Amino acid sequence: MPDFDVVGIGLNATDTLLLVPRFPAYAGKEPFEEEILSPGGQVASAMVTCATLGLRTRYIGTVGDDERGRIQIESLLNSGINLDHVQIRKNTANQSAYIVIDRTTGERTVFWRRPDGLRLDPAEITEEMIASARLVHIDGHDTAAVERAARIARANGIPVTVDVDTIYHGFDRVLPYVDYLVTSSEFPSRWTNVHDPFQALETIQKEYGMKVAAMTLGAHGCLARCDGQYFYSPAYVVNCVDTTGAGDIFHGAFCYAVLKGMSLQDTLDFSNAMAALNCTALGARGGIRPAQDAIALMRRAERRSQPDFVARTAAAVQG
């Protein structure tokens, strides 16, 4: 039996949250109400979600040796995540982000920086790190390193999920080894130059052959394609305090659902519910809840759908 249910390779960050009553107009000024230091980052937050949901979890990445790095390590350790292959980079600041949160909507604007000294080299990824997992989750930032991890996973029959939100040079070498692609809403059209989201997902899936090609849609939920069929999951309506980290928690919940053998529709619904719950608290990991809380939300909550996605998904099924 593998040592870990899920192994994540990718980014972590320590965020400074600035809460403002409203986001200012361009070149404007606005007083902020509160400043909060909070751990986050794409893959690291997804792994915290997996650990919270009870999975045996390992995180692989690099962390600076400053105060922000210490905050990140402390958060990961407190979540019960294995950090045997986390490297502390000397005399290097951890990745940081300044996130402005609009109190009126909960929407956030992110400014981030990652020093070159945090780059993960592919030679630092060994087969033992990857082969000990039931599932591997990656992002796209250190592209050569995650490509190596995905290749090792494929060679060992381990499924790979990926979180990608922008175009990375060389990412075309990663995609052939991905089983579950879950992107931002912008990525499919940017990658394919096909503006229709349904056709863009189909184009990516047919070119690279992944089992599931999906995109998150923020307040409108998510759309996925599998076995020639489309699946749409509307978002759950909650009292939104902060959208920071919602996508990261979606990905962690997605990993959990895949390992639990949920149907794709249930996987999307569960992941949406976990992401929605995280939006009810401040910070990238402020609202991570147990699975039963997400299931309860799925049973009772109002949902916000995008009518065009509902209609086109239904039409595709009937066709």
Q: What is the pLDDT of residues 218-237, one digit of tens each?
A: 889 999 999 999 999 999 99
DSSP code for 119: P
Which residues form the domain of 231?
A: 4-13+40-94+118-318
CATH number at residue 58: 3.40.1190.20
Neighbours of 192 (CB within 10 A): 16
CB 46 within 8 A of CB 248: yes
Kindly tell me the sign of the dihedral angle through the C-alpha atoms of 137, 143, 149, 151. positive
Helix-then-strand count for the chain, H and E? 10, 15
> CA 271, CA 291: separation in Å to the nearest integer?
10
Is 112 contained in some domain?
no
- pLDDT, tens digit, 9 for 90 and up, residues 250-308: 999 999 999 999 999 999 999 999 999 999 999 999 999 999 999 999 999 889 888 88
Residue 317 reports pLDDT greater than 70:
no
CB 9 within 8 A of CB 136: yes
Is 264 contained in some domain?
yes
> CA 117, CA 128: separation in Å to the nearest integer?
24
Question: Can you give 61-83 as a three-state secondary structure string?
Answer: EEEECCHHHHHHHHHHHHCCCEC
- pLDDT, tens digit, 9 for 90 and up, residues 34-52: 999 999 999 999 999 999 9
Is 290 contained in some domain?
yes
Give the length of the chain. Answer: 319
Whole-number pLDDT of residue 306: 83
Is 26 contained in some domain?
no
> CA 155, CA 166: separation in Å to the nearest integer?
27
> CA 25, CA 226: separation in Å to the nearest integer?
42
> CA 251, CA 181: separation in Å to the nearest integer?
10
Task: List the Cα angle 81/107/23 in 5-degree steps.
Answer: 130
Ramachandran area for residue 228 (φ above 0: left; ψ -120 to 50: alpha; else beta)? left
Question: Can you give 183-211 as a three-state secondary structure string?
Answer: ECCCHHHHHHCCCCHHHHHHHHHHHHCCC
Q: How many CA atoms lie within 13 A of 310 on its CB side?
A: 8
83: tokens are 């950090």
Which residues fall within 8 angstroms of residue 284, CB to CB, at 6 or more apart? 15, 38, 39, 40, 41, 45, 244, 245, 248, 278
In percent, the amount of the chain with pLDDT more than 90 equals 93
Is 286 contained in some domain?
yes
pLDDT band at 314 (very low <50, low <70, confident <90, very high): confident
CB 130 within 8 A of CB 136: yes
88: tokens are 């502390």
- pLDDT, tens digit, 9 for 90 and up, residues 180-209: 999 999 999 999 999 999 999 999 999 999
Task: Please tell me whether residue 49 adopts helix, strand or coil conformation.
Answer: helix
Structural domain total, the chain: 1
Is 107 contained in some domain?
no
Is 298 contained in some domain?
yes
pTM of the model: 0.95
pLDDT band at 318 (very low <50, low <70, confident <90, very high): low
Is 161 contained in some domain?
yes
